[in-house]
């Protein structure tokens, strides 16, 4: 078998992975996921829509301005420009795949979310946008002759030959292992929210792809920047907390405390629609003071079944009528701005290894992601990477010594529960050096934590957060020092 005949392996079946696989035609692609499409996938849970400058008076430049402001200026400007310049193209492409975006009469309906100065959020099926986009991409991938689907399994090792990716090792649900050769590999495995006790992410968003890449020697970038969504439903139970979409605040809902006082009053010119890091910290402080935080959506008008069917159903399952009752909310780990360091085309520092979507960091989100830019990033940069892979005909790494790089030992259920509580306490919306150092020491002296790949990943995050001594975006240190923070490894170091 020649190098050109070997498939591109895409690990991850969310929006970014599917967009990459579709755009890579006619090269053969093998798609690998832990679950069937739509299960255990953050894309399917996304209630926010996709941001695109399509309204009157809007422009890509305005979209870029809001993206940079939300990201605290830590963004890579050229990556932001590419994102916003290709947003409308992404929307049109999705429409060709059958995505029916919500309309207001004969025009596309444009909503508004946190950090946006203008209405530019398109939804599909109201607050079920992620599921609608994923379903359309899934249908297209099933029809694509160049895409082959691997039965659900976990990729737990990379095969390297002469420091180049030549394959992956997969483990199925029965524990059977198998090595699969490839010409290039793409990691599109999502975020790390499942490593926090309070999260909106499914269990599969545990940083597995990030940990695997780092084990192989790929540098990571901006690991300290974790975004916390300010309005997860505050309910008891295990697993992901239900998300209460930000679009509700765009439609007139407000945050308040037990006494009904507006939490965001006087805190920011955009009030309840301020960037997520600011809103999450204000909600966090209300909870830390012993009170409860509430989202009052009783002033929201219109057809809830059309606009907010997911939130309506979630609330009613927990005995809340959101049209007449306030909704209890809490911040929760939501999106990782950091990840595997990649260049503008999704290349990592390891030849043949690429990354895209939330598991990658190309600098587009900076220190805090702008609302509804995540699905957009997965589409825009997934298609860019796919086109690159379609055009490039690299020979597979078939000479030289080879080695298998394993992700490492997984944490036990009890160790993982302890680690999640530790991450929430030390790396939550408000941080301080003493708590983070205590968490590091705890992991170091606990063999069950220290020996696991999850423990190693949280260790790297804590180390990055300790190095950045000043607050920036979603990384907020209440003990911030009055001096310049240590900067992350620049992306340009990966470009050749």
Alpha helices in 178-263 (DSSP H): 208-215, 247-250
Strands 254-256 and 293-296: antiparallel
CA atoms within 13 A on the CB side of 434: 2
Task: Determine whether 347 is an active site residue.
Answer: no
* Active-site residue identified among 27, 161, 276, 383: 276
CA atoms within 13 A on the CB side of 94: 33
Nearest to 416 by CA among 451, 455, 445: 455
In degrees and rounded to multiples of 5, residue 145 shows phi and psi of -70, -25
Q: What is the dihedral of CA 300, 304, 307, 310, to 10 degrees?
A: 110
Q: Which residues have C-beta within 8 Å of that of residue 482, sequence separation ≥ 6?
A: none
Q: How many CB atoms lie within 10 A of CB 173?
A: 11
Distance of CA 216 to the CA centre of its chain: 22
Tokens of 456: 């190693």
Q: How many CB atoms lie within 10 A of CB 103?
A: 10
> What beta strand segments (E) does 1-53 contain?
8-11, 29-32, 50-51
Return the H-helix or E-strand segment holding 354. strand 353-355
Q: Which residues form the catalytic set?
A: 276
């Amino acid at each position: 078998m020649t190098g050109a005949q070997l498939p591109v392996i895409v690990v991850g079946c969310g929006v970014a992975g599917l967009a990459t696989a579709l755009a890579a035609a006619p090269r053969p692609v093998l798609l690998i996921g832990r679950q069937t499409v739509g299960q255990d996938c953050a894309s399917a849970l996304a209630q926010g829509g996709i941001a695109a400058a399509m309204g009157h008076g809007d422009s890509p430049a305005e979209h870029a301005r809001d993206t940079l402001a939300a990201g605290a200026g830590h963004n890579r400007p050229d990556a932001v420009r590419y994102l916003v310049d290709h947003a409308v193209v992404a929307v049109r492409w999705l429409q060709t795949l059958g995505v029916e975006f919500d309309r207001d009469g004969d025009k596309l309906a444009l909503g508004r979310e946190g950090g946006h100065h203008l209405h530019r959020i398109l939804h599909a099926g109201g607050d079920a946008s992620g599921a609608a986009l994923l379903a359309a991409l899934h249908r297209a991938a099933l029809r694509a002759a160049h895409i082959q689907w691997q039965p659900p399994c976990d990729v737990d090792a990379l095969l390297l030959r002469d420091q180049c990716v030549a394959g992956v090792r997969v483990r199925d649900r029965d524990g059977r292992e198998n090595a699969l050769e490839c010409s290039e590999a793409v990691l599109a495995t999502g975020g790390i929210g499942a490593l926090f006790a309070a999260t909106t992410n499914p269990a599969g968003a545990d940083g597995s792809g990030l940990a695997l890449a780092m084990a192989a020697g790929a540098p990571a970038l901006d690991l300290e920047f974790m975004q916390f969504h300010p309005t997860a439903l505050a309910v008891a139970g295990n697993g992901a907390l239900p998300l209460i979409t930000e679009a509700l605040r765009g439609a007139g809902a407000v945050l308040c405390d037990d006494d009904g006082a507006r939490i965001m009053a006087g805190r920011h010119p955009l009030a309840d629609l301020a960037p997520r890091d600011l809103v999450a910290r204000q909600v966090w402080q209300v909870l830390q003071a012993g009170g409860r935080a509430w989202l009052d959506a009783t002033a929201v008008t219109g057809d809830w079944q059309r606009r907010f069917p997911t939130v309506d159903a979630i609330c009613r399952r927990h005995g809340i009528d959101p049209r007449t009752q306030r909704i209890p909310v809490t911040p929760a780990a939501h999106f990782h701005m950091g990840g595997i360091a990649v260049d503008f085309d999704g290349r990592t520092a390891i030849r043949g290894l690429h990354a895209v979507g939330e598991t990658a960091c190309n600098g587009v989100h900076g220190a805090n992601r702008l609302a509804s830019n995540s699905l957009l990033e997965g589409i825009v940069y997934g298609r860019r990477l796919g086109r690159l892979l379609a055009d490039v005909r690299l020979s597979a790494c078939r000479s030289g010594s080879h080695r298998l790089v394993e992700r490492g030992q997984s944490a036990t259920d009890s160790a993982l529960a302890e680690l999640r509580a530790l991450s929430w306490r030390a790396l939550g919306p408000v941080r301080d050096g003493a708590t983070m150092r205590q968490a590091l020491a705890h992991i170091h002296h606990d063999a069950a934590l220290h020996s696991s790949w999850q423990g190693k990943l949280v260790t790297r995050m804590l180390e990055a957060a300790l190095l950045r001594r000043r607050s920036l975006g979603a990384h907020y240190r209440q003990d911030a020092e009055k001096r310049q923070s240590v900067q992350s490894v620049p992306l340009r170091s990966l470009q050749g």
